[in-house]
Chain A
Amino acid sequence: MSKNGPLALCFNALVIGFMLAPLVVVCLVAFTPENTLSIPTTDFSLRWFKAVFAHPDFMTSFWNSVWLALAAASVSTCVAIPAGLAITRYQFAGRDALNALFLSPLIVPHLVLGVAILRLFSLIGATGSFFWLVLAHVVVVTPYVLRLVLAASAGMDRSCEQAALSLGASQSAVFRRVTLPMILPGVTGGWLLAFINSFDEVTMSIFVTSPATVTLPVRMYMYATESIDPLMAAVSALMVALTGGVMILLDRLYGLDKILVGSK
C-alpha cells in the first residue's frame, strides 16, 4: 500500500542509513584484530571483547550499572503505581500540579539535575553512597514508568473493578486480583524502559557518581576522553547488544512502537 515514489524511498533509505551508521560502525570495529580503530575486512577477532572482560574497571562499573538500573527501575515502579492510580482515579485539588511535578524530570536538563543533586549530596555527605545514587536515578526514570502506568490505568475498563466490588471483593482484593493484572503490561513495559534509561544515563551520573560507584557509561566517557581504541568499541558493541535484548523483551511484552511513540 506504499504511496511513496522512488524519491521518497531513497530519502528514507538515507535516513535509515544515517540512524544506523554509528551503531553499525561501533559493532564492526569491535571485531577488529588491529590495535587501532579500523573496520575489519578479512579477519574478525574477539580479542577486544576478551580485553573488556579482563578489564577490572569496566567489569566493576558494568555491575554497578546493572544493580543500579535494577534497583532504580524497581523502586520507581513501586512509587509510580500508587501515584499513577491516584492521578487517574481521583479528582482532587493539586492533581494537575502533582502530575506535572512527577513528569517534570523530562524537561529538566540532566545536567541541571546532576549539578543540583551533587550539591544536595555534598551537604548531606551522600557522595559515594549507592543508596542515594539509586534515589537520584529513580527521580530521573520515574516519569517513564509513570507515563505508562497513567496510560494503562486510564485505558482499562473501570467497570471491571465495579464488577469485582459487586461480587464481594474488598478494596485490596480488587487491586490485587483485578486492577494490577490489568495494568501489568504497562507496568512491565515501564519497568523495562526505566531499566534501560537508568543503564544508559551519563550526564547526571557524571556529577553524582563517585569513584566507588562509577557506572558503565561514565566509565566509558572518561575512557573516551583519554584514549580512543577498539576496547571502547567492544564495550559499546556489548551495550548495543544488551539494549537490543531489552528492546526485544519490550516488544514481546508490550510493543516497542507503543512505548516509543505512545499508545493511542
Chain B
Amino acid sequence: MKLVARSTPWLLSAPAMLLFSSLLLLPLTLTAVLSFNVFDYNTGVKNIFTWAHYAAIFTDDYYFEIFWRTFWIAGLTTLICLLIGAPEAYVLSRMGDPWRTVFLLIVLAPLLVSVVVRAFGWSMLLGPRGLVNQVFAFIGMGPFKILYTEWAVVIALVHVMLPFMIIPIWTSLQKLDPGVENAALSLSASHFTTLRRIVLPQVLPGVLSGSLIVFGLSASAFAIPGLLGGRRLKMVATVVYDEYLHELNWPLGAALALILLLANLLVMLSYNRVLEGRYKKAMG
C-alpha cells in the first residue's frame, strides 16, 4: 500500500504552478517575443521579426551611455555598501544584547518602508535648501548641487541597499565559531591579523552574496533614479519607463528590460558558480 500517492506533491504545488506559469513565465516569454517585434511610430507594434531594437541598443551611443552610467552607479553603490556594511555588521555582531538586536532592527527596518517614501526623504535632505546643504552652510561651504546629480542617486541607493549587504554578511558572521577567533588570539595573532586571516575568509561568501544582490538591485532601480536623478539623469529602468509610457515603443523597452533581466541572472549564476567552486569544498 502506498502511504502517499505519487501525485500528492504535484497536486499541492498546482495552484502555485498555475499562477507562476501564467503570471511569470508567460509574460516573460511574451515580452521576449515583443522585443523582436517591429515598432512603427505611426502604426504601433507589428508582428514582424526584427533585430533592430537590439542592434540599436548595442550600437547607439545614447544607450551605451545609459548602460555605462547604470553600471558605474551600481558598482559605486556596491562598493560603498561594502565599505560601510561589512564593518557595521561586524560591529553589531560584537555587541551585547539588547543593543545588538535593537540596532540591527533599526538598520534593517527601513526595508519595510516603501522606496518612494525613502527617496522623497532624501530629496528633502539633499535639496539646495535641504538639511545637508544647511550643515555645509553652517561651516561656511556650499551650497552644493546634490539633488538631481549622480551623487544623490548613489546616496539614496546606498541607503536602500545597505540592509541587503548587511543581512548576508551578518548571517555569515553568526555562523562563525567564536572559539576560532579566540584560538587565533591565543596563538599570538594580533586583532588585525585575526580579522584578516581568520574572520574575513569565512565571511567572504556573505560578502560576495551581498555584493551581487546589491549590484543587481541597484542596476535595476527605478524609483530612486526617477525621483532623485531628474529628467536628464537616466538609468536603464527609467529609460524603459520612458519607452513604454512616453514613446510607446514597447518592443524597444522590452529589449532593454530583457537585457537587464539577463544581466541579473548572469550575476546570480556567477555567484552560485563561485560559491560551489571555492567555498563548498572548504566549508561544506
- Determine the distance from Cα of A139 to Cα of B26 in the docked complex, in whole angstroms: 12
Known interface pairs A86-B9, A119-B30, A200-B114. Does A111 touch B220 (Cβ–Cβ under 8 Å)?
yes
Neighbouring B residues of A202 by C-beta, 8 Å? 114-116, 222-223
A110 within 8 A of B: yes
B190 within 8 A of A: no
- Determine the distance from Cα of A228 to Cα of B26 in the docked complex, in whole angstroms: 39
B233 within 8 A of A: no
List which B76-97 residues lie within 8 A (CB) of chain A.
Answer: 84, 87-88, 91-92, 94-96
Assess the A261–B260 pair: CB atoms within 8 A.
no
Q: Mark A202-230, 1 if CB is under 8 A from B, else 0.
A: 11001100000000010011001100100
- Determine the distance from Cα of A33 to Cα of B98 in the docked complex, in whole angstroms: 38
Known interface pairs A79-B15, A115-B253. Does A29 touch B223 (Cβ–Cβ under 8 Å)?
no
Assess the A90–B8 pair: CB atoms within 8 A.
yes
Assess the B115–A200 pair: CB atoms within 8 A.
yes
Neighbouring B residues of A82 by C-beta, 8 Å? 12-13, 15-16
Q: Mark A76-90, 1 if CB is under 8 A from B, else 0.
A: 001110110111011
Most buried by B among A83, A136, A142, A228: A83
Known interface pairs A86-B13, A105-B24, A136-B23. Does A2 touch B95 (Cβ–Cβ under 8 Å)?
yes
Q: Mark B126-148, 1 if CB is under 8 A from A, else 0.
A: 01010100000000000000000
A37 within 8 A of B: yes
Assess the A200–B112 pair: CB atoms within 8 A.
yes
Assess the A120–B125 pair: CB atoms within 8 A.
no
- Determine the distance from Cα of A39 to Cα of B271 in the docked complex, in whole angstroms: 44
- Determine the distance from Cα of A148 to Cα of B213 in the docked complex, in whole angstroms: 20
List which B1-42 residues lie within 8 A (CB) of chain A.
Answer: 4, 6, 8-10, 12-13, 15-17, 19-20, 23-28, 30-31, 34
**Closest B residue, CB atoms, query A18:** B159
CB distance from A237 to the nearest CB of B (A): 9
Q: Mark B247-284, 1 if CB is under 8 A from A, else 0.
A: 00010011001101100110010000000000000000
Assess the B23–A102 pair: CB atoms within 8 A.
no
**Closest A residue, CB atoms, query B6:** A92
Neighbouring B residues of A264 by C-beta, 8 Å? 174
- Determine the distance from Cα of A79 to Cα of B123 in the docked complex, in whole angstroms: 39
Assess the A233–B124 pair: CB atoms within 8 A.
yes
Assess the A108–B254 pair: CB atoms within 8 A.
no
Assess the A19–B162 pair: CB atoms within 8 A.
yes
Assess the B30–A120 pair: CB atoms within 8 A.
yes
Assess the A116–B31 pair: CB atoms within 8 A.
yes
B227 within 8 A of A: yes
Assess the A109–B261 pair: CB atoms within 8 A.
yes
Neighbouring A residues of B107 by C-beta, 8 Å? 15-16, 19
**Closest B residue, CB atoms, query A246:** B112
Neighbouring B residues of A233 by C-beta, 8 Å? 120, 124
Most buried by A among B20, B107, B112, B156: B112
- Determine the distance from Cα of A19 to Cα of B162 in the docked complex, in whole angstroms: 9
CB distance from B119 to the nearest CB of A (A): 8
Known interface pairs A23-B113, A221-B226. Does A260 touch B12 (Cβ–Cβ under 8 Å)?
no
CB distance from A220 to the nearest CB of B (A): 5
Known interface pairs A19-B159, A199-B114. Does A1 touch B124 (Cβ–Cβ under 8 Å)?
no
Neighbouring B residues of A224 by C-beta, 8 Å? 116, 119-120, 123, 227
B63 within 8 A of A: no
- Determine the distance from Cα of A85 to Cα of B15 in the docked complex, in whole angstroms: 13
- Determine the distance from Cα of A82 to Cα of B18 in the docked complex, in whole angstroms: 13
- Determine the distance from Cα of A102 to Cα of B167 in the docked complex, in whole angstroms: 21
Assess the A4–B113 pair: CB atoms within 8 A.
no
A-B contact pairs, 27 of them (CB 8 A): A1-B95, A2-B94, A4-B94, A12-B91, A16-B103, A16-B106, A18-B159, A21-B125, A22-B120, A22-B121, A26-B121, A90-B8, A102-B20, A110-B222, A111-B237, A112-B258, A115-B257, A202-B114, A203-B223, A217-B115, A220-B117, A221-B223, A224-B116, A236-B121, A239-B113, A261-B167, A262-B167
Seen from chain B, the residues whose Cβ lies within 8 Å of a Cβ on chain A are 4, 6, 8-10, 12-13, 15-17, 19-20, 23-28, 30-31, 34, 84, 87-88, 91-92, 94-96, 99, 101, 103-125, 127, 129, 131, 156, 159, 162-163, 167, 170-171, 174, 216-217, 220, 222-223, 226-227, 237, 240-241, 244-245, 250, 253-254, 257-258, 260-261, 264-265, 268
